Structure 1
Amino acid sequence: MEVPLLVTDFLDRARKYYGDEEAIVATSGERFTYEEFGNRADRLSTVLQERGIEKGDRVAVLDPNTHYQLESAYGIMQLGAIHTPLNYRLTPEDYEYLLSDSGAKAIIADSEYADKIEPIRDEVPTEIFITNDVDDVDGDWEGFDDLIDGLEPEYDRPEMSEDDVITINYTSGTTGDPKGVMRTHRTESLHAQLVTIHHEIRDDDVYLWTLPMFHVNGWGHIYAITGMGAKHVCTRGVDAAEIFRQIVDEDVSFLCCAPTVLSMLGEYYEEHDVQTDGDNPMRVTAAGAAPPEAVIETVEEEFGWHFRQLYGATETGPLIGTSATRRLIDEDSDDRFALKKRQGIAPLATEVAVVDEDGTEVPWDDETIGEILVRGNQVMEGYWEKPDATEEAFTEKRDGWFHTGDLAVVNEDGMLSIQDREKDIIISGGENISSIELEDTLFDHPAVSDVAVIPAPSDQWGETPKAFVVPSNENPDDPPVSADELTAFTRERLAGYKVVHRVEFVDELPTTATGKIQKYELREQEWDDEESMVGQG
């Protein structure tokens, strides 16, 4: 029997079996059951349909991790319209690009961010403007609750195919303009099922939202947590004290986050007498650049949480690999933290290959570097209205495989370890240098709070490593360590050609909303006077 895979099935299932169970703890303190959650989504569907939103129309959502984001997602998708979540940390100019590129007909924006839409509303195709609090917003906006209060849910759900595009997620823009990643009912449904399996999501889980819901639909958790009938605990931002409070008060069992969040929690824990769990055992998944082993050790040994690393990309939903491999990691071994920070192995029904320039798979020797390619049911349909970029992403070394641009080695058990991005590899005097290796080394220095290493132009070598360092005292004008001392520190631990000779102290690094360092901005700054951003070393 063949039954179409539709993302609407997740909320439908939760309402059927968990209708009276608590679904959402809102940032306001309000609590909604799954029946109440679903009813609010139904009434939003009715509102949007009455205003002319049809199947295939794009509806943007600009919202932190509140119940409005969850209700909006399902209210949009139940119409067959395309849910288009936006990063809430951008500028009005960014939103002009995203709304125009997607052709969004409507936007649902949190009042805290609606003022970023006002300056560009006449420049975009958007016609419908809805917010959670009209009294807090300038301009002509309609109130979300005002629109749905007292309304009978009477929308018509159209016939949908699992191959219909149902969401567009924009990439972080770490290497240029963001691209709209088209994802279908099928890709989202299967990816959510993989997340459910590999994150071991259960119906009694209490999930704390620290990962932005806009980021690849919260790594699929807007579907997986909902479909399993688990509980969403919403947040308006990332605050260490508030995270620990909610974990205890709500008996949180699971959260996903960027590694920077774990570092922040570790620093807060060192300075405060704080409880790290409630009645439920805690597990956490991190993604992005792997956290230092010391952070993982703190999470497991001090917090008492179970840690796993996730690897992925917006184009893949994001799950490509996970270190949730209990049989491949000996919990009593000295190298368990080093293994847990690896990007791990492919999930079910997913093929991952690390290949050389000819598309040939590299040996599992933990030394030979190649690019990570992936294919699976969770991989995107393509880039929105960018056929050339889509073709390039799927054909460069192997036809039909998504090319991640990430460079990795593979150990004897098949566990990935990313060494660099192709664009971040440093080629100095003909030698390849991993910026990640240099960053990991500098992270070991107690005076380094955060660091990014990029290739800088060099007359002698073409390129040379340069480190942008956030000092531990957060004062770049008076850091507790000198540039020469950091150079000496790397010289003691690395091969001579890898030594970092250039260091610039900064108060912060440019990052995306999910904590990814935007090295592209640093490269542009460093190579501004050069003819190209590639050295001739």
Structure 2
Amino acid sequence: MHKPLLVPEFLDRARSHYGDDEAVVATTGERFTYDDLGERADRFAAALQARGIEKGDRVAVLDPNTHYHLEAAYGSMQIGAVHTPLNYRLTPDDFEYILSDAGVDAIYADYEYADRIEAIRETVPTETFITNDAAEVEGDWEDFDAVLEDTAPEYDRPEMSEDEIITINYTSGTTGDPKGVCRTHRCETIHAYLLVGHQEITDDDTYLWTLPMFHANGWGHIFAVTGIGATHVCTRGVDAAEIFETVRAEDVSYMCGAPTVLNMLIDYYRDHEPETTGDTDVRLATAGSAPPEATIRTVEDEFGWYLKHVYGATETGPLITTSDARRHFEADSDDRFRIKKRQGLAYLGTEIRVVDEDGEDVPRDDETLGEVVVRGNQIMEKYWNKPEATEEAFTDRVEGYYHTGDLATVDENGMIAIQDRKKDIIISGGENISSIELEDALFDHEAVADAAVIPAPSDEWGETPKAFVVPSNGDPTDPPVSPEELTEFTREQLAGYKAVRRVEFVVELPTTATGKVQKYELRQEEWDDEERMVGQG
């Protein structure tokens, strides 16, 4: 038989089986059961309908990881409105573009960020404005809790199809205007099923929100954690001391953390030696750039946490691979670090290929570079109002596969290892140099806290590797290592032509809200005086 896969059913299931159990630990100190969460979502759904919001209308959510985000998301989706989460680190101009591009009809915005919407409200199509503390916000905003109190929890749930768009997640937009990634009920549901299986999520898990809920719906955890009946522990940002304390106090068993979060935790741990667990073992998922072996070693051997390295993009669900392939490494051997650095094996029901420019699969020699392409039920439907970009994304090298833009190798077991972005590969004197390989080498130096490598212009070679390095002492004016020493260090670890040639010490690297280094900004600055942002190497 065929049963439609519909996103509101995640909360339906939790209410049915875990109504009296704790659903949310709020940043306000409140605790909500699944019955509580469900009723608040019902009231928000009814309030939206009372304000004219209908199935297919877009409802934006601008919020750090609070209970309001979950309530607004499910309240919207229960009436078939399209949940459109916003990156809270964007500017008013960015919000103006997204709200207009998506044709957003209503928005809930946290009081700390509502001013950025107030600044552009006269130029966007949005008509309903709700915040969680209207007294703290200038302008005509309704108060979330007052709206719920004044609204009965009865609403009309329309008939929905699994092939209808239910979320739009905007990409970071580091190389141009953000693109709205459209995902259907079916996409979101199947991705959540995969997440539950591969991340081993169970109803007795306590999940700590260190990953932004807005980012690809918190990597799908707003669905998976809810549907399985586990507990959400909310946050208003990432603070290392608070993370360790919350892990202990709330007996957190599972969380996600971008590489920048892991670095923050490791630095705090080195200085303060906090307790790292409660009574339950901790699992941590990381994605973005591959974590250095030293990072994995610290998280697993010193924190006592189990690290899962996963990979994907907003367009892919996001998660499509995992390095958690335990038949390929011994649990206590150092060899596991080599495996866990890889992006890994495809998720169930997901087809990962690494193809050359002709669309042919590269050999499994772990040397030949190709682009990662993927197809699976969790892949996006389209880009919102961008048919040409959608067409290109699915047809560039291979018809019917989403093209990630990531360059990778494949080993004999089919495990992929990302080597670079297509636009980040360094071509120096005709030789391809992986910036990721160079970064990994730099991370092995004790004086390097963070690093990003980009191609820099070179009269002799066309391009040459340049490293932006955050020194371990945090002082770029007096680092504990010289550029020459770092050049020699990379030369000792890699082929001579791959060594970093230039080093610039910085206080911090530019990153997106999800912790990905914005190399585009570094390249733009480095190539500012050049006619083009690519060399002739």
**How far off its partner does 1:121 sit?**
1.2
Residue 492 of structure 2 corresponds to residue 466 of structure 1: no
Task: Give the 5 Å matches for 1:9-48.
Answer: 9-48=9-48
- Counterpart residue number, 1:157: 157
Bigger Cα displacement from structure 2, 483-492 vs 506-515: 483-492
Task: Give the 5 Å matches for 1:195-206.
Answer: 195-206=195-206
**Partner of 1:89: helix, strand, or coil?**
coil
Bigger Cα displacement from structure 2, 11-20 vs 142-151: 142-151
Bigger Cα displacement from structure 2, 477-486 vs 67-76: 477-486
The answer to whether the 8 A contact 1:362-1:368 is kept is: yes
CA distance in 1 between counterparts of 2:525 and 2:179 reads 22
- Counterpart residue number, 1:440: 440
Bigger Cα displacement from structure 2, 503-512 vs 227-236: 503-512
The answer to whether the 8 A contact 1:453-1:465 is kept is: yes
- Counterpart residue number, 2:233: 233
**How far off its partner does 1:150 sit?**
4.6
Bigger Cα displacement from structure 2, 10-19 vs 328-337: 328-337
The answer to whether the 8 A contact 1:10-1:223 is kept is: yes
CA distance in 1 between counterparts of 2:332 and 2:141 reads 58
**Partner of 1:362: helix, strand, or coil?**
coil
The one-letter amino acid of 1:91's match is T
CA distance in 2 between counterparts of 1:94 and 1:174 reads 12
Bigger Cα displacement from structure 2, 209-218 vs 462-471: 462-471
Residue 253 of structure 2 corresponds to residue 248 of structure 1: no
- Counterpart residue number, 1:406: 406
- Counterpart residue number, 2:494: 494
The answer to whether the 8 A contact 1:211-1:258 is kept is: yes
CA distance in 1 between counterparts of 2:529 and 2:390 reads 31
Bigger Cα displacement from structure 2, 479-488 vs 93-102: 479-488
CA distance in 2 between counterparts of 1:230 and 1:43 reads 22
The one-letter amino acid of 2:97's match is Y
**Partner of 1:106: helix, strand, or coil?**
strand
**How far off its partner does 1:168 sit?**
0.3
How many residues end up aligned between the 2 structures? 537
- Counterpart residue number, 2:284: 284
CA distance in 1 between counterparts of 2:531 and 2:391 reads 28
CA distance in 2 between counterparts of 1:35 and 1:66 reads 17
The answer to whether the 8 A contact 1:61-1:85 is kept is: yes
CA distance in 2 between counterparts of 1:64 and 1:317 reads 21
Q: Deviations over 1:346-391 (max 9, x none)?
A: 0111100011111111111111111100000000001110000000
CA distance in 1 between counterparts of 2:177 and 2:533 reads 16
- Counterpart residue number, 2:134: 134
**How far off its partner does 1:115 sit?**
1.3
**Partner of 2:83: helix, strand, or coil?**
strand
**Partner of 2:172: helix, strand, or coil?**
coil
- Counterpart residue number, 2:384: 384
- Counterpart residue number, 1:53: 53
Task: Give the 5 Å matches for 1:73-472.
Answer: 73-472=73-472
CA distance in 2 between counterparts of 1:254 and 1:415 reads 24
User: Which structure 1 residue ranges, 5 or more long, are not aligned?
Assistant: none
The answer to whether the 8 A contact 1:308-1:341 is kept is: no
**Partner of 1:117: helix, strand, or coil?**
helix
Q: Deviations over 1:429-466 (max 9, x none)?
A: 11100000111111111111111111111121111111
The answer to whether the 8 A contact 1:293-1:337 is kept is: yes
The one-letter amino acid of 1:408's match is A
CA distance in 1 between counterparts of 2:53 and 2:151 reads 17
CA distance in 1 between counterparts of 2:330 and 2:448 reads 30
The one-letter amino acid of 1:276's match is T
The one-letter amino acid of 1:196's match is V
CA distance in 2 between counterparts of 1:473 and 1:272 reads 16
The one-letter amino acid of 2:462's match is G
CA distance in 2 between counterparts of 1:514 and 1:46 reads 32
The answer to whether the 8 A contact 1:85-1:217 is kept is: yes
CA distance in 2 between counterparts of 1:92 and 1:315 reads 24
**Partner of 1:7: helix, strand, or coil?**
coil
Residue 531 of structure 2 corresponds to residue 531 of structure 1: yes
The one-letter amino acid of 2:84's match is T
The one-letter amino acid of 1:409's match is T
The answer to whether the 8 A contact 1:176-1:520 is kept is: no
CA distance in 1 between counterparts of 2:82 and 2:120 reads 22
CA distance in 2 between counterparts of 1:478 and 1:101 reads 46
The one-letter amino acid of 1:434's match is S
CA distance in 2 between counterparts of 1:329 and 1:423 reads 33
The one-letter amino acid of 1:218's match is G
**Partner of 1:463: helix, strand, or coil?**
strand
**Partner of 1:130: helix, strand, or coil?**
strand
Q: Deviations over 1:495-534 (max 9, x none)?
A: 2211211111111111011100011111111111222212
CA RMSD of aligned residues (A): 1.0
**How far off its partner does 1:175 sit?**
2.9
The runs of at least 4 consecutive aligned structure 1 residues that moved more than 3 Å come to none
CA distance in 2 between counterparts of 1:266 and 1:167 reads 35
The one-letter amino acid of 1:220's match is G
- Counterpart residue number, 1:519: 519
CA distance in 1 between counterparts of 2:270 and 2:91 reads 35
Bigger Cα displacement from structure 2, 484-493 vs 12-21: 484-493
CA distance in 2 between counterparts of 1:422 and 1:273 reads 40
CA distance in 2 between counterparts of 1:440 and 1:177 reads 30
**How far off its partner does 1:473 sit?**
1.5
CA distance in 1 between counterparts of 2:67 and 2:525 reads 39
CA distance in 1 between counterparts of 2:119 and 2:314 reads 29
Bigger Cα displacement from structure 2, 143-152 vs 228-237: 143-152
The answer to whether the 8 A contact 1:209-1:232 is kept is: yes
**Partner of 1:424: helix, strand, or coil?**
coil
Q: Deviations over 1:56-91 (max 9, x none)?
A: 111110000000000011001011110000011111
The answer to whether the 8 A contact 1:450-1:469 is kept is: yes
Q: Deviations over 1:215-234 (max 9, x none)?
A: 00011100000000000000
- Counterpart residue number, 1:478: 478
Bigger Cα displacement from structure 2, 114-123 vs 242-251: 114-123
**Partner of 2:68: helix, strand, or coil?**
helix
CA distance in 2 between counterparts of 1:128 and 1:309 reads 40
CA distance in 2 between counterparts of 1:378 and 1:7 reads 13
CA distance in 2 between counterparts of 1:320 and 1:437 reads 22
CA distance in 2 between counterparts of 1:42 and 1:332 reads 48
CA distance in 1 between counterparts of 2:371 and 2:199 reads 26
User: Which structure 2 residue ranges, 5 or more long, are not aligned?
Assistant: none
The one-letter amino acid of 1:142's match is E
Paired-residue identity, %:
72
CA distance in 1 between counterparts of 2:329 and 2:273 reads 31
Bigger Cα displacement from structure 2, 202-211 vs 362-371: 362-371
**Partner of 1:327: helix, strand, or coil?**
helix
CA distance in 2 between counterparts of 1:332 and 1:304 reads 12
**How far off its partner does 1:334 sit?**
2.7
Q: Deviations over 1:145-166 (max 9, x none)?
A: 0100152112111110000000
CA distance in 2 between counterparts of 1:172 and 1:265 reads 24
